[in-house]
Chain A
């Protein structure tokens, strides 16, 4: 009996050691990015191209923008790739990052129930739409997690002239969740929600929701990439991280981004050449 058990234990241990990835042997860098970017599937598409070319593994830890920047401040990442320009520039100004480079943009869309209590479907003005939602106190789900999407949402409320902090009521649901879970909640509550197009396209649990407002320039979502400052964090893998950054803003990297499509639709629009972005 006991020999049988020992044998079984050994038999189990061998295939596991063989099957499990030999992660420590390979060269790698750590990139702090956002959940919405990860969930859009972009990395699964572009990273293998980079890894094949350089033999370097890129490990993406996906968090909210605020968390991603915090993680980099602690020195737990080599590169940051997020979409909140103001926060990114502050990050560089504080000396945590060397330089911010624009990479690509995607856009946000306003999702809502087909029944549309705020009567904003088909509009091209996001500010008008948000005011409409506030006026009828229609249920609205916010990410509430200091992510780029959340910060963009807050900026839009402000631009629309709505003081969301004082004006929010039971209709404004602050969930503290990533994009996917927040969409799940919106679907369950039949609520309006601001989402990035990428997550929306791959989101399968739509319920009664649809895209109601899109195309407003204000909804464009710019991504920036930053090398974590090796002077502040000497262990940062400078050369490898720089190689990744150089590649992602290069024509080859930019093409890889543009080639990523879901259901035939392009999600991200490369604009590394756009100096003002």
Chain B
């Protein structure tokens, strides 16, 4: 129990002192995961919207597949991306292994199915509500999917925040493709893993607290946005 108390005390001292290494690690975590979410949104939102509204053979199968891919284990994605980006692999000449770019690629692969599947669900629910009216006004499926993307923007924002949370919290993918290089590819989760394995629990806990606070704040923000939006826009 004494150990734990000491760990928390050191953790708070670290955060209060705004250690420059800590800032570097937090900044990189944010950069990698935010970029990954942006890419995933660019691909996943239109995909989700079209899937929600279009009707074609194999649509059900595609939806099931997308939902299943939400459960991709990060460490497996990391391994696959490593094999792709290694010099011995097909995309080795890009030379991005062990750089933040590789981490962004891996996390984008991880998050895109989540954003696509969840936005598909959200927009399909909205489509059930709006379909008759939109068709009556003359909107084709493409137009309708764009309209619904905008109309469900608050739910979608929550989905993006969920995607970010998932990215920021994972360690398997970024560890393998990033290599946890000091000052280059070390992010919060890999730093926690390293410090824990070194037995340096106070530092690991400090980072852990920062990570938890970040994720909790994001979820709170998501909640506030939804509440405010519901009140304002109905």
User: A residues touching B (Cβ–Cβ < 8 Å)?
Assistant: 1-2, 5, 12-13, 15-17, 19-21, 23-24, 30, 35, 38-39, 43-44, 57, 59-62, 73-76, 177-181, 183-184, 199, 202-206, 233, 235
Say whether A184 contacts B24, CB under 8 Å: no
Cβ–Cβ contact A16 & B30, under 8 A: yes
Q: Contacts A20-B28, A59-B98 given; indicate if A204 touches B181 (C-beta within 8 A).
A: no
Instruction: Check B229–A203 contact: CB distance below 8 A.
Output: no
* Interface residue? B184 (CB, 8 A): yes
- A24: nearest residue on chain B (CB-CB)? B99
Q: How far is the CB of B99 from chain A (nearest CB, A)?
A: 6
Q: How many A-B residue pairs have CB under 8 A?
A: 95
Known: A202-B198, A203-B198, A235-B93. 20 other contacts (CB 8 A): A1-B229, A12-B34, A15-B27, A16-B30, A16-B34, A17-B31, A20-B28, A21-B28, A21-B184, A23-B100, A39-B198, A57-B184, A73-B88, A74-B86, A75-B86, A75-B87, A183-B199, A184-B197, A204-B201, A205-B199
- Note all chain B residues with C-beta closer than 8 A to A180: 196-199
Bin chain B's interface residue count. 35 or more
- Chain B residues proximal to chain A, CB less than 8 Å: 23-24, 27-28, 30-31, 34, 86-89, 92-93, 95, 97-100, 153, 157, 179-184, 194, 196-201, 225, 228-229, 232
Q: Contact at A1–B182, with CB atoms within 8 Å?
A: no
Q: Which residues of B contact A5 (CB under 8 A)?
A: 157, 225
Known: A75-B88, A180-B198, A184-B199. A16 touches B184 (CB 8 A): no
Are B27 and A20 closer than 8 Å at their CB atoms? yes
User: Are A74 and B197 closer than 8 Å at their CB atoms?
Assistant: no
Contact of B197 among A44, A57, A178 (CB under 8 A): A178
Contact (A76, B97) CB under 8 Å given A20-B28, A178-B197: yes
20 interchain pairs, CB-CB under 8 A: A1-B229, A2-B153, A12-B30, A17-B31, A21-B28, A21-B183, A23-B184, A39-B194, A39-B198, A59-B184, A61-B179, A62-B179, A62-B180, A73-B88, A76-B98, A180-B199, A184-B197, A203-B198, A204-B201, A235-B93
Chain A residue numbers with a CB within 8 Å of B27 are 15-16, 19-20
Chain B residues in 8 Å Cβ range of A75: 86-88, 92
Asked if B99 contacts A23 (CB within 8 A), the reply is yes
A29 to chain B, nearest CB (A): 11
Please indicate which of the listed interface residues B23, B157, B197 has the most CB atoms of chain A within 10 Å of its own CB.
B197
The reply to whether B34 and A61 form a contact with Cβ atoms under 8 Å apart is no
Interchain CA distance A223-B211 in the complex, whole Å: 37
Bound together, the chains give a CA A46 to CA B98 distance in angstroms of 21
**Please, how many angstroms separate the alpha-carbon atoms of A60 and B181 in the complex?**
6
C-alpha spacing A224/B222, complex, angstroms: 53
For A47, the closest partner residue in chain B by CB is B182
Q: Which residue of A lies closest to B87 (CB)?
A: A75
Question: Which residues of chain B have C-beta atoms less than 8 A from A61's C-beta?
Answer: 98, 179-181
Which B residues touch A13, using CB under 8 A? 34
Residues of A within 8 A of B34 (CB): 12-13, 16
Minimum C-beta distance from A54 to chain B (A): 16
Chain B proximity of A185: nearest CB distance (Å): 11
Given the complex of chains A and B, what is the CA–CA distance between A59 and B180 in angstroms?
10
Provide the bound-state CA to CA distance between A57 and B184, in Å: 10
Do residues B87 and A76 form an inter-chain contact, with CB atoms below 8 A?
A: yes
Residue of chain B at shortest CB distance from A183: B199
